[in-house]
Structure 1
Amino acid sequence: MKTLGLTGFVLAAGLAFSGAAHAADFKLGVAGPITGSTAAFGAQLQQGTQQAVDDINAKGGILGNKIVLEVGDDQGDPKQAVSVANKFVGDGVKYVVGDFNSGASIPASAVYNENGILQITPASTNPKFTEQGFWNTFRTCGRDDQQGEVAAKYIAAHFKGKKIAILHDKTTYGKGLADATMAGLAKDGIKPVLYEGVNTGEKDYSAVVSKMKASGADLVYWGGLHPEGGLIRRQMTDQGIKSPMMSGDGITDNEFASIAGPGAEGTLMTFGADARKNPAASAVVKEFAARSTPFDPQAYTLYSYAAVQVMAQAAEAAKSVDPKKMAEKMHDGMTFHTVIGDLSYDKKGDLKQAGYVMYTWKKQPDGKITYIEND
């Protein structure tokens, strides 16, 4: 356990000894922002993973091993993600669903790689995550270079000759997505009239919104998450800017509309096809709805559920719960049947079927503004 040091090693050894009676447990961790401004996404990861664990355990577990779930709160912070990873190592976790943020998943993946832990992120889209040459990194989502290309093509087709502003939150994910979109636009000879980074966690973005207004932008592309994106959209409305916003998967929670207000209507967004409508997910969606406290399995909920399904099927194919043997099966191109559809992986751990579509945030008959997949 190269990352733990002597104290961590002794602790881990003690835990391993004390837990010997439970050696058959399939120890799974889920890591994400359980608290903080993006806790809505952490809830998606936790709820999706927990439901999959419950359903698979009800059918006998994985190769007869009961799945035991441990939750790690990385708060969306890279350093905290590494701390969570090291705790998982010490606790004997061998499989991880997470993290959410690319900036968290990438440093955590090094810890998992060194300690023999299989990691599937349902949400981290930065290409670097699977470009490190690690054996253990996989996704159930697509990549920002794929997502940026879809956004750029849509802009080129629907905003031809218009002025485009690009904003990002300076994070691994947000800037990476903005840059991927800008690279796609460059292929069509489109140069943004404004390219600006903002700091996360702030409440007043009026200065950059004023720059946006002065630029005369007809469309504002946002690379970042929904808390900041929602505030920027609201403050655009406050300054009388009617130009629409476009963003990526980082705003796929209904909190975006709560923060943005009426201006959220008309916002464009790239994400995978709505998994809630996939026939393979119908039974699970009903399970979420039938809870005493119903949960809407939007965005990354079912992507997290699918990650556990992939692990279970990989173990069955390998006839082993050894993470490396499972990863070998995953890299071999086998097809996994999941709630988000049939999935298979390339040698890097990226999906062969990754596909993005365009959504528009629209007001529903009940007055709620939410994201609807374009026809």
Structure 2
Amino acid sequence: MPFSAAFDLRGDGSIDRRSLLRTAARLGAAAAGASLASPLFGGDARAAGEAVKIGWVRPTTGRLVTSFAPLYLGGGIAVDEINQAGGILGRPISKFEEDDEASPAKEPAIVRKLHEAEVNFAVGPTGSSQSLASLAATTRAKIIQSTYAAAAEAGDGKRYPYHYQLMYNTDQQGQVCANYMVKNLGIKKVGILQESTAFGEQATTSTKAALKALGIDPVSVQVYPITAPDLSAYVRNLQKEGAEGVIAWIANVPNAAMIFNTMKTLKWFPPVTGHSGLFLPALFELVPPDAIKNVFATYYRNFTWTDQQKPGERQVALAKKLLAIPEAKGYEVNVASSPYYDFVYLLKAAVEQAKSFEVDKVKQALDSTRNFPGLVGNLSFTPDNHCGIDIKDVVLASVASGQDPQAMGSFRERAPGQ
């Protein structure tokens, strides 16, 4: 059993009450007048060795468990590594688990549980809609948090001063995809295919702005419901309206399979760029190879290879660990690029710089972070900009290269010219 597992908390309050009793016994009368907002509950006055709790907000029930739950595996690896190395300032990390069922409506109540249990740091939730619902509450509660949210607004330090976005956002994705279509491939007739979700809407808005900056407008924008049983009409519309390249904001394999199989039927194989959801190996079982040979998705430079460059030692070490975890099988590429591994290590660095677990001191350390060596890239923040990823660390990579032995599940070949 991993060392961290001995400290996992479930949010029912039982372990936390014993922790408070132990603290009260040690501190005696000094604790009697302390308020819940005092350093006693913020971390500085806690005894060395007592676990520091990190909220772990993820679905353990509901329809999105299969796709969302693996994204937390990297964060769990980081917790185990840190605990095995002595913890943070001598204190082990414990995961305070809460099931959000991947439902935005559940997030405010979960944040209340975290706040009542004096949990000052949180991993998750996953999904832009879920994350934005959570951020509205964690901002008021002053909980330092990192979510799996691509929405550009999630990196706004003024709006969400306690949230740190450790992944590329929709603005960066739109810019990278548009630049590749127009500058690298010389395509001027670009179509957009978008799922009807908050992510799809934001990505399309960003893409239109990026294309506009390059002097063109999309020839067609097709918006499809993710529950539609057939997406062939949307693909045919792109072809009819003259699209020579497609920027596709597709975040799930079933929709992608319908789209690429329609292209196969039409014998129409335009270059496609889009979201990293296209990387999942399950797509290979549903789509013929020629349908995805010109398909590229956004990814991190550090997790790609070229003839001249290979992934670094730390990235390879994580990839090897993921290959040994059954729950990661088929999801390695998304687990490797999840923000949670880097966030746990970033939090450790900030606490150790601040020499404190107090939220305001840790936030100050995070806001002054420059070029922290994350797995996905060097992470930097300011008080106003909480998106830590620089666009130079975002590239396009080949979807088909996932079948190459060099991929090791986690890596992809960089697109030509990137």
Q: TM-score, normalised by structure 2?
A: 0.76
Amino acid of the residue matched to residue 287 of structure 1? K
Whole-angstrom CA distance in 2 between matches of 1:35 and 1:271: 29
Per-residue deviation, residues 297-344 of structure 1 (Å, max 9, x unmatched): 423435321110001111111111223321110101344333334322
Q: 2:193 aligned with 1:167, yes or no?
A: yes
Whole-angstrom CA distance in 2 between matches of 1:307 and 1:215: 44
Amino acid of the residue matched to residue 126 of structure 1? A
Structure 2 contact 275–297 (Cα < 8 Å) conserved: yes
Whole-angstrom CA distance in 1 between matches of 2:229 and 2:114: 34
Of 273, 276, 282, which aligns to 2:316?
282
Q: 2:105 aligned with 1:79, yes or no?
A: yes
Distance apart, 1:109 and its partner CA: 0.8
Aligned to 1:301: 336
Who wins on radius of gyration, i.e. which is larger?
A: 2
- Change in Cα spacing, 1:235 to 1:39, as seen in structure 2 (3 Å) is farther
Aligned to 2:356: 320
Equivalent residue runs for 1:187-266 within 5 Å: 187-227=213-253, 228-262=255-289, 263-266=291-294
- Change in Cα spacing, 1:201 to 1:298, as seen in structure 2 (3 Å) is same
2:164 is paired with a residue whose SS is strand
- Change in Cα spacing, 1:160 to 1:291, as seen in structure 2 (3 Å) is closer
Aligned to 2:387: 350
Of 141, 156, 176, which aligns to 1:150?
176
Whole-angstrom CA distance in 2 between matches of 1:199 and 1:165: 17
Per-residue deviation, residues 216-271 of structure 1 (Å, max 9, x unmatched): 32222112302323332233323433223221234343334444453233211122
Structure 1 contact 30–49 (Cα < 8 Å) conserved: no
Aligned to 2:374: 338
Aligned to 1:50: 76
Structure 1 residue runs of 5 or longer lacking an equivalent are: 1-10
1:49 is paired with a residue whose SS is helix
Amino acid of the residue matched to residue 60 of structure 1? G
Amino acid of the residue matched to residue 346 of structure 1? T
Per-residue deviation, residues 96-143 of structure 1 (Å, max 9, x unmatched): 22233222211211211111211113x422111122523201111122
Amino acid of the residue matched to residue 17 of structure 1? R
Amino acid of the residue matched to residue 312 of structure 2? N
Whole-angstrom CA distance in 2 between matches of 1:259 and 1:322: 50
Q: 2:151 aligned with 1:126, yes or no?
A: yes
Whole-angstrom CA distance in 2 between matches of 1:253 and 1:210: 25
2:280 is paired with a residue whose SS is coil
Distance apart, 1:352 and its partner CA: 5.6
Distance apart, 1:87 and its partner CA: 4.0
How many equivalent pairs are there?
363
Distance apart, 1:26 and its partner CA: 1.5
Q: Which moved more, 1:84-93 or 1:163-172?
A: 84-93
Structure 1 contact 34–42 (Cα < 8 Å) conserved: no
Whole-angstrom CA distance in 2 between matches of 1:47 and 1:320: 27
Aligned to 1:100: 126
Distance apart, 1:59 and its partner CA: 1.2
Equivalent residue runs for 1:15-26 within 5 Å: 16-20=16-20, 21=22, 24-26=50-52
Aligned to 1:117: 143
Percent identity between the aligned chains? 23
Q: 2:296 aligned with 1:268, yes or no?
A: yes
Q: TM-score, normalised by structure 1?
A: 0.84
Amino acid of the residue matched to residue 356 of structure 2? S
Structure 1 contact 150–357 (Cα < 8 Å) conserved: yes
- Change in Cα spacing, 1:289 to 1:207, as seen in structure 2 (3 Å) is closer
Amino acid of the residue matched to residue 202 of structure 2? G
2:350 is paired with a residue whose SS is helix
Amino acid of the residue matched to residue 226 of structure 1? N
1:138 is paired with a residue whose SS is coil
Structure 2 residue runs of 5 or longer lacking an equivalent are: 1-10, 24-45, 305-310
Whole-angstrom CA distance in 1 between matches of 2:249 and 2:282: 17
Aligned to 1:7: none
Q: 2:235 aligned with 1:185, yes or no?
A: no
RMSD: 3.1
Whole-angstrom CA distance in 2 between matches of 1:82 and 1:251: 31
- Change in Cα spacing, 1:71 to 1:13, as seen in structure 2 (3 Å) is closer
